[in-house]
């Protein structure tokens, strides 16, 4: 009996370690090799790949409503607009085969591409396009889904079946907004009817578990190579390495540099790009201490992005000082990075002036599924401590973050990355306007609003760029938030999969992936 | 007085009890010392020491932020030890009372209590803890309370079945005939007789509490980073299992020995009782 008990004790001990050590499922799925399709000739998509994603599609599947970059990058494969971005960030025709812009910049004429089919098999008609765009421009329920589209004054199909759009005022960025997903005109509930025109069609979504996509055989463009794509939600970043090494996941976008190093020793290639995010310690400007500009500036002085990068991204990130990441060559100004060089004394001085000497306390809400942000928060807490600021971390799951922090703005500070969709200055800056629906940091600065309006009202490209840059430096000077970096993006891909493409926006293109013979 | 202590010690003088006591005492001391002193600041980071292997200055090595793992293990033991201890305490005390009343009296009361128990059982304990935490907010105290409540049903059920068994036995009947009050029968007569079962379930409960605490820490409730808990450290160490195995090894060993110590203690106590 005693021996049995000892054995049981031993067993429990082993389980304690084993259970603590692995939490993923271990069903290994070996992808079927389909090297014959690697060149795209003789099309038939084969095989299956499991791709890990850090978050579930918690904010829904309606392409016009989703706000989370992590959801959008997946819908990128399912939906297309009249135009879409290529790997260089240029707009290329998609559902439209061609477009013409009048010389006054007010009339856009889109020719629809022949033979573009929805996933339900019906061809795309001008009605579908008009329905999709007017759905986004509709202001009857308050703010339009895409405020930029409220500029449309006239939207109709002409006799030749072309879609004609007239604007109230010229807008150099308007074409970017034609990336808006085209959905069928019958689809009044895109949340449940996920029908687009992209290279992958939506099959199913199991909340908190997986999303299944299947290659769309009748896609108009270059068809996907891999037939079945399963997106597996791995909300515990600590288990990514084990899941991948164990064979249950073939690819994961955005692992940390440490995880990348670990995976590179195994069966994985590591592709390196940038995340195209504005990662910052976003400060809720309505939280009492943060209403004081000096307190926000003090935080900027107290933190050191270089040190964060050394811990979080293997030193490979790019420092940013305002709400723009370097992919925006036109607006990114590296000299702003010197606005707040780490200066603990200065930080303390500012806090003292503001009356928060050694007494500033706040909590940083971080979504626990994003390892880089959690790690950043941990480093920040240490840096802030040196300046007498007592910050604590509150980990929440992604859904809670989206609803509580992002939508309800019920937080003090948070570490997150914000992307730009589409790739326009408007997408970057509009969220700082005091009345913007997505101004989750509650930034409120009439000077900024005025400058932004002036920029939108300017049609001269050079002048507009200048105004946007001024807006960006206002954000930096007033310390709208404590900006940190554009993170490097390490993508771990199993060695028999190739073709991963980086986009200058937050997107993952599954259609370009294919199997090779390499093991 | 001295005589009686010596007598008690002699009674418990067996291999399991001694070894278990030593291990548990070591952990207890580490946990208490961890409240006041750790060799290094547990949150101080150092780029140069990222994932450095065990050396004289850092005997357990350093983690991915260059923090001293030994100091963090000490802090982790402190957090895990106290959370698990109080969790089991709350769970077992409440469980004993509910189980005893239910099992001893039987009848309608038993039915009602046990159906409530079943309802609680139907929720996975972590889910139940999540509900409690969402009601009362997060934090170490709340987590302890939440886990403690979540642990009540399993204790209650074990205790109830033991009481049902015992209540039918002759010694209980004779105690009743001699006029012993119910409360005396329950706690003075029956309770000591179910101790061996109780002690082993407490020890298993302790093991579960360590793991549940680890699970909750991951979910973002309970011990929040940068503070360390053994479960959280073990979970974080997964990513570095191949390049920095010491990161997983030492918190893992700490858990193993903590559970081992308690298990041996339990074994020792039940051996002494059955003698």
* Tokens encoding A416: 């997150």
pLDDT at site A19: 42
Residues 436-495 of A with CB under 8 A from B: none
Nearest Cα to Cα of residue A34 among A224, A289, A193, A167: A224
Tens digits of residue pLDDT in A147-161: 888 888 888 888 888
Question: What are the angstrom distances between the C-alpha of B27 and each of A11, A162, A258, B273?
Answer: 21, 77, 32, 25
Tens digits of residue pLDDT in A47-91: 899 999 988 888 888 989 888 888 988 999 999 999 998 888 888
Cβ-nearest to B226 among A20, A368, A381? A381
B-chain residues near A374 (CB < 8 A): 225
Domain ranges of chain B: 13-274
- Give A334 or B222, the one with higher predicted confidence: A334
Give the mean model confidence (pLDDT) for residues A29-49.
55
Handedness of CA A234, A240, A246, A248 (dihedral sign): positive
Question: What are the angstrom distances between the C-alpha of A327 and each of A108, B154, B214?
Answer: 27, 57, 40
B-chain residues near A13 (CB < 8 A): 256, 259-260, 263
pLDDT at site B172: 85
Question: What are the angstrom distances between the C-alpha of A400 and each of A440, A444, B125, B132, B225?
Answer: 14, 25, 21, 16, 18
pLDDT at site B275: 60
Contact A261 B243 (CB under 8 A): yes
Contact A2 B263 (CB under 8 A): no
Cβ-nearest to B239 among A19, A240, A310? A240
Helix or strand run (H / E) with residue B174: helix B170-177
Handedness of CA B94, B98, B101, B104 (dihedral sign): negative
* Tokens encoding B15: 């291999």
Contact A241 B239 (CB under 8 A): yes
Give the mean model confidence (pLDDT) for residues A500-516.
87
Nearest Cα to Cα of residue B79 among B209, B271, B169, B240: B209
Contact with chain A for residue B134, Cβ under 8 A: no
A456 pLDDT higher than 90 = no
Average pLDDT, chain B: 83
Instruction: Give CA–CA dist A407/A484, Å, rounded.
Output: 23
Q: A2: which residues sit within 8 A by CB, 6+ positions away? A: B267, B271
Cβ-nearest to B235 among A6, A238, A375? A238
pLDDT at site A256: 84
pLDDT at site A12: 46
pLDDT at site B220: 60
* Tokens encoding A487: 């993170």
Pairing of β A163-167 and β A107-112: antiparallel
The residue of chain B nearest to residue A312, with distances taken between CA atoms, is B65
Instruction: Give CA–CA dist A292/A248, Å, rounded.
Output: 49
- Give A409 or B12, the one with higher predicted confidence: A409
Average pLDDT, chain A: 84
Q: What one-character-per-residue DSSP string does A163-175 give?
A: EEEEESS--TTGG
Query: Where do runs of H (alpha helix) occur along A23-138?
Result: 69-75, 126-137
Instruction: Give CA–CA dist B272/B257, Å, rounded.
Output: 22
* Tokens encoding B273: 């009782």
Q: How many angstroms separate the CA of residue A107 from the nearest CA in chain B?
A: 52
Question: What are the angstrom distances between the C-alpha of A450 and each of A454, A456, A477?
Answer: 6, 10, 16
Nearest Cα to Cα of residue B207 among A109, A11, A388, A225: A11
Contact with chain B for residue A267, Cβ under 8 A: no
Contact (CB, 8 A) for A275 and A486: yes
Q: Which residues of chain B have pLDDT under 50?
A: none
Q: How many angstroms separate the CA of residue B259 from the nearest CA in chain A?
A: 7
pLDDT at site A159: 82
Taking the CB of residue A30, how many other CB atoms lie within 10 A of it? 10
Tens digits of residue pLDDT in A477-493: 899 999 999 988 889 99
Contact (CB, 8 A) for B270 and B9: no
Segment of A328-337, A376-385, A456-465 carrying the highest mean pLDDT: A376-385
Among A9-18, A125-134, B112-121, the minimum mean pLDDT is found in: A9-18
Residues 92-151 of A with CB under 8 A from B: none
- Residue among B46, B207, B239 with most chain A CBs within 10 A, to mutate: B239
Contact with chain A for residue B14, Cβ under 8 A: no
pLDDT band at residue A131 under the 50/70/90 scheme? very high
pLDDT at site B218: 61
Residues 47-86 of A with CB under 8 A from B: none
Count of all residues that appear for chain B in the document: 275
Rg for chain A, CA atoms, rounded:
24
Contact with chain A for residue B130, Cβ under 8 A: no
Contact with chain B for residue A11, Cβ under 8 A: no
* Tokens encoding A302: 């107290």
Share of chain A above pLDDT 70, in %: 91
Give the mean model confidence (pLDDT) for residues A350-370.
89
A-chain residues near B204 (CB < 8 A): 12
Instruction: Give CA–CA dist B85/B78, Å, rounded.
Output: 10
What is the CATH number assigned to the segment(s) B13-274? 1.10.3720.10
Contact with chain B for residue A3, Cβ under 8 A: no
pLDDT at site A24: 38
pLDDT at site A7: 47
The residue of chain B nearest to residue A255, with distances taken between CA atoms, is B239
Enter the DSSP assignment of B254.
H
A8 pLDDT higher than 50 = no
A345 pLDDT higher than 60 = yes
A-chain residues near B237 (CB < 8 A): 238
Instruction: Give CA–CA dist B261/B117, Å, rounded.
Output: 31
Share of chain A above pLDDT 90, in %: 26
Q: How many angstroms separate the CA of residue B114 from the nearest CA in chain A?
A: 28
Instruction: Give CA–CA dist A175/A4, Å, rounded.
Output: 74
Contact with chain B for residue A312, Cβ under 8 A: no
Q: How many angstroms separate the CA of residue B63 from the nearest CA in chain A?
A: 11
Cβ-nearest to A12 among B64, B207, B267? B207
Contact B225 A17 (CB under 8 A): no
Q: Which runs of E-coded beta strand occur in A102-225?
A: 107-112, 152-157, 163-167, 200-206, 210-215
Contact B65 A378 (CB under 8 A): yes
Contact B218 A368 (CB under 8 A): yes
Enter the DSSP assignment of B21.
H
Contact with chain A for residue B214, Cβ under 8 A: yes
Q: How far apart are the first and last CA of chain A?
A: 51
pLDDT at site A518: 54
pLDDT at site A21: 39
Contact with chain B for residue A381, Cβ under 8 A: yes
Contact B255 A242 (CB under 8 A): no
Helix/strand/coil for A184: coil
| Residue B96 CB-half CA count within 13 A | 18
Contact A258 B267 (CB under 8 A): no
A-chain residues near B226 (CB < 8 A): 378, 381-382, 393
Tens digits of residue pLDDT in A173-206: 888 889 999 999 998 888 888 999 999 999 999 9
């Amino acid at each position: 009996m005693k021996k049995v008990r000892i054995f049981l004790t031993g067993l429990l001990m082993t389980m304690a370690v084993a259970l603590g050590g692995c939490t993923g499922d271990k069903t290994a799925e070996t992808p079927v090799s389909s090297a014959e399709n690697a060149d795209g000739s003789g099309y038939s998509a084969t095989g299956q790949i499991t791709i890990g994603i850090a978050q579930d599609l918690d904010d829904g599947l309606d392409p016009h409503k989703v706000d989370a970059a992590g959801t959008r990058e997946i819908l990128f494969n399912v939906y297309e607009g009249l135009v879409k971005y290529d790997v260089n960030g240029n707009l290329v025709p998609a559902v439209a085969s061609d477009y013409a812009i009048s010389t006054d910049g007010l009339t856009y004429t889109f020719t629809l591409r022949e033979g573009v089919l929805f996933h339900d098999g019906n061809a795309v008609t001008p009605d579908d396009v008009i329905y999709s765009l007017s759905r986004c421009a509709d202001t009857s329920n308050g703010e339009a889904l895409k405020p930029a589209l409220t500029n449309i004054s006239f939207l109709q199909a002409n006799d030749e079946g072309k879609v004609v759009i007239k604007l109230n005022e010229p807008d150099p960025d308007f074409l970017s907004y034609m990336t808006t997903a085209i959905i069928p005109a019958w689809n009044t509930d895109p949340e449940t009817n996920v029908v687009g025109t992209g290279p992958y069609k939506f099959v199913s979504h199991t909340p908190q578990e997986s999303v299944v996509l299947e290659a769309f055989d009748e896609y108009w463009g270059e068809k996907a190579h891999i037939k079945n794509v399963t997106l597996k939600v791995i909300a515990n970043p600590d288990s990514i390495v084990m899941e991948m090494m164990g064979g249950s996941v073939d690819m994961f976008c955005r692992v940390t540099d440490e995880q990348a190093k670990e995976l590179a020793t195994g069966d994985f290639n590591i592709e390196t790009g940038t995340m195209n995010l504005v990662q910052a310690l976003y400060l809720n400007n309505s939280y009492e201490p943060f209403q004081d500009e000096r307190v926000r500036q003090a935080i900027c002085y107290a933190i050191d992005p270089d040190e964060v990068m050394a811990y979080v991204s293997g030193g490979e990130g790019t420092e940013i000082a305002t709400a723009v990441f370097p992919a925006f060559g036109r607006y990114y100004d590296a000299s702003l990075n010197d606005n707040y060089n780490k200066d603990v004394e200065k930080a303390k001085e500012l806090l003292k002036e503001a009356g928060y000497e050694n007494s500033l306390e706040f909590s940083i809400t971080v979504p626990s599924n994003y390892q880089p942000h959690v790690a950043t928060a941990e480093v920040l807490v240490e840096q802030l401590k040196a300046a007498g600021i007592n910050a604590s971390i509150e980990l929440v799951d992604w859904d809670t973050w989206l609803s509580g922090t992002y939508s309800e703005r019920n937080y003090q500070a948070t570490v997150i990355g914000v992307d730009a969709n589409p790739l326009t200055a408007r997408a970057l800056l509009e969220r700082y306007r005091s009345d913007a629906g997505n101004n989750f940091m509650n930034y409120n600065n009439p000077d900024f609003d005025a400058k932004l309006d002036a920029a939108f009202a300017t049609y001269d490209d050079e002048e507009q760029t200048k105004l946007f840059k001024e807006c960006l430096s206002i954000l930096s000077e007033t310390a709208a938030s404590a900006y940190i970096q554009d993170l490097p993006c390490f993508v771990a891909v199993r060695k028999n999969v190739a073709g991963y493409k980086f986009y200058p926006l937050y997107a993952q293109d599954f259609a370009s992936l294919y199997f090779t013979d390499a093991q | 007085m001295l005589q009686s202590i010596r007598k008690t010690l002699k009674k418990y003088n067996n291999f399991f009890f001694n070894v278990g006591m030593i291990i548990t005492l070591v952990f207890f001391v580490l946990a208490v010392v961890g409240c006041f002193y750790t060799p290094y600041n547990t949150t101080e980071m150092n780029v140069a020491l990222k994932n450095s292997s065990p050396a004289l200055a850092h005997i357990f090595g350093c983690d991915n932020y260059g923090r001293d793992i030994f100091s963090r293990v000490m802090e982790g033991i402190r957090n895990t030890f106290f959370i698990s201890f109080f969790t089991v305490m709350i769970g077992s005390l409440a469980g004993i009372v509910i189980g005893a009343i239910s099992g001893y009296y039987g009848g309608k009361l038993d039915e009602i209590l046990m159906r409530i128990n079943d309802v609680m059982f139907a929720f996975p304990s972590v889910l139940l803890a999540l509900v409690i935490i969402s009601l009362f907010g997060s934090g170490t105290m709340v987590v302890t309370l939440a886990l403690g409540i979540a642990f009540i049903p399993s204790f209650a059920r074990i205790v109830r079945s033991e009481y049902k068994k015992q209540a039918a036995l002759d010694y209980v009947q004779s105690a009743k005939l001699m006029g012993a009050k119910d409360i005396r029968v329950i706690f003075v007569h029956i309770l000591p007789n179910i101790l061996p079962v109780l002690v082993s379930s407490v020890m298993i409960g302790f093991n579960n509490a360590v793991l549940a605490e680890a699970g909750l820490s991951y979910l973002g409730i309970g011990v929040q980073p940068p503070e360390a808990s053994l479960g959280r450290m073990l979970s974080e160490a997964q990513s570095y299992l191949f390049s920095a195995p010491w990161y997983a090894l030492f918190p893992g060993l700490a858990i193993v020995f903590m559970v081992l110590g308690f298990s041996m203690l339990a074994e020792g106590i039940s051996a002494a009782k059955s003698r």
